């Protein structure tokens, strides 16, 4: 199994997960032109994608999905709540998932789990090929025992490190937005992400990626340092899915 990021952050998210002949696109917050260019950068194309899976209906995750799914006839998988937000338009094959029930798309098994975030029915996922497990956790405001259980014993983990709390508190956002981002249904700070990581079984972890970093209220070095401290590793070992550059293919 392998994965890559087309880009990650509040200006757009998209992740590829590939196993055997199956390639999933998880979220797509980029325009068609941007998406096609970013796929080409990863030496692939939309024609190679089998399905799109959506975490939730916020624009940075869903803005590009409708047009891409129509152009390439891709089925879109999401919870009923995400579909009910009605952000995709017509002419799309919709596959409704239950956020507690495992399902398979081709060669990839997907275990969804609900997370506290200010969307209708947000889910994050663990992907498995029957041997290795890749966990994805972004857009979550606070930890839950359930998400920690799901993400334990993964071989690879993509983990939100949205903001440094001091940078957010001292930043230019209006107070209401600071409260939303930093709230229990907002986004994880570096400290919160490190706290979650420290509660997981990380004995199998060979890949760790910090994701959904705020460009205004975080730096890659701060996020990497926070996660590296928990792992007892050097900061360089923690990868970052960059907003502009994404992250190249990584084998799990
Ligand atoms: Zn987001
Ligand atoms: Zn969101």
User: With bands split at pLDDT 50, 70 and 90, how would you rate the model's confidence at 44?
Assistant: very high
pLDDT at 212 (0 to 100)? 98
Please name which ligand lies nearest the alpha carbon of 61.
Answer: 1
Q: CA nearest 117: which of 92, 87, 147, 83?
A: 147
Centroid of ligand 2 to alpha carbon of 227 (angstroms): 21
Residue 251 β-bridge partners: 2
User: With bands split at pLDDT 50, 70 and 90, how would you rate the model's confidence at 84?
Assistant: very high
Contact 88, 70 (CB under 8 A): no
User: With bands split at pLDDT 50, 70 and 90, how would you rate the model's confidence at 143?
Assistant: very high
Centroid of ligand 1 to alpha carbon of 117 (angstroms): 10
Centroid of ligand 1 to alpha carbon of 212 (angstroms): 7
User: In sequence order, what DSSP letters do the residues of the chain get, joined into one string?
Assistant: -EEEEEE-STT--EEEEEETTEEEEE---S-HHHHHHHHHHTT--GGG--EEE-S---HHHHTTHHHHHHHHT--EEEEHHHHHT--S-SS--EEEE-TTS-EEETTEEEEEEE--SSSSS-EEEEEE-SS-EEEEE-S-SS--HHHHHHHTT-SEEEEE--B-HHHHHTSSS-HHHHHHHHSTTS--BHHHHHHHHHHS--TT--EEEEES--SSS--HHHHHHHHHHHHTS-GGGSEE-BTTTBEEEEE-
Listed residues: CB within 5 A of ion ligand 1: 60, 139
Centroid of ligand 1 to alpha carbon of 9 (angstroms): 6
pLDDT tens digits, 220-252: 999 999 999 999 999 999 999 999 999 999 999
pLDDT tens digits, 100-142: 999 999 999 999 999 999 999 999 999 999 999 999 999 999 9
- Average pLDDT taken over every residue of the chain: 98
Centroid of ligand 2 to alpha carbon of 159 (angstroms): 14
pLDDT at 172 (0 to 100)? 95
Please name which ligand lies nearest the alpha carbon of 7.
Answer: 1
Please name which ligand lies nearest the alpha carbon of 12.
Answer: 1
Distance of CA 173 to CAs 167, 181, 248, Å?
10, 10, 32
Q: Distance between CA 98 and CA 123 in Å, rounded?
A: 9
Centroid of ligand 1 to alpha carbon of 59 (angstroms): 8
pLDDT at 42 (0 to 100)? 98
Centroid of ligand 2 to alpha carbon of 115 (angstroms): 11
Query: 39 Cβ partners below 8 Å, 6+ apart?
Result: 6, 16, 45, 46
Please name which ligand lies nearest the alpha carbon of 115.
Answer: 2
**pTM of the entire structure?**
0.98
Tokens of 130: 């029957």
Per the listing, tokens 């839950």 go with 144
Centroid of ligand 2 to alpha carbon of 9 (angstroms): 10
pLDDT at 168 (0 to 100)? 98
């Amino acid at each position: 199994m392998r994965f890559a990021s087309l880009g990650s952050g509040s200006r757009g998210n998209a992740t590829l997960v590939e196993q055997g002949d199956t390639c999933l696109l998880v979220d797509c917050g980029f325009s068609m032109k941007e998406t096609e260019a970013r796929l080409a950068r990863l030496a692939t194309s939309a024609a190679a994608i089998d399905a799109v899976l959506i975490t939730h209906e916020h624009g940075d995750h869903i803005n590009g999905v409708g047009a891409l799914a129509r152009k390439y006839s891709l089925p879109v998988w999401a919870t009923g709540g995400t579909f009910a937000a009605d952000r995709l338009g017509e002419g799309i094959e919709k596959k409704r998932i239950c956020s507690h029930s495992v399902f398979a798309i081709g060669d990839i098994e997907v275990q969804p789990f609900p997370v506290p975030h200010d969307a209708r029915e947000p889910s994050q996922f663990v992907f498995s090929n029957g041997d290795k497990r890749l966990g994805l956790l972004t857009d979550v405001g606070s930890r839950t025992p359930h998400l920690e259980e799901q993400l334990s014993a993964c071989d690879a983990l993509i983990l939100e490190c949205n903001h440094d709390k001091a940078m957010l508190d001292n930043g230019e956002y209006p107070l209401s937005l600071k409260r939303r981002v930093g709230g229990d249904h907002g986004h994880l700070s570096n400290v919160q992400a490190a706290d979650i990581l420290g509660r997981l079984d990380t004995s199998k972890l060979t890949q760790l990626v910090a994701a959904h970093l705020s460009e205004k209220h975080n730096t890659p070095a701060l996020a990497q340092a926070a996660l590296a401290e928990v792992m007892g590793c050097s900061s360089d070992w923690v990868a970052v899915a960059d907003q502009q550059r994404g992250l190249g293919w990584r084998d799990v």
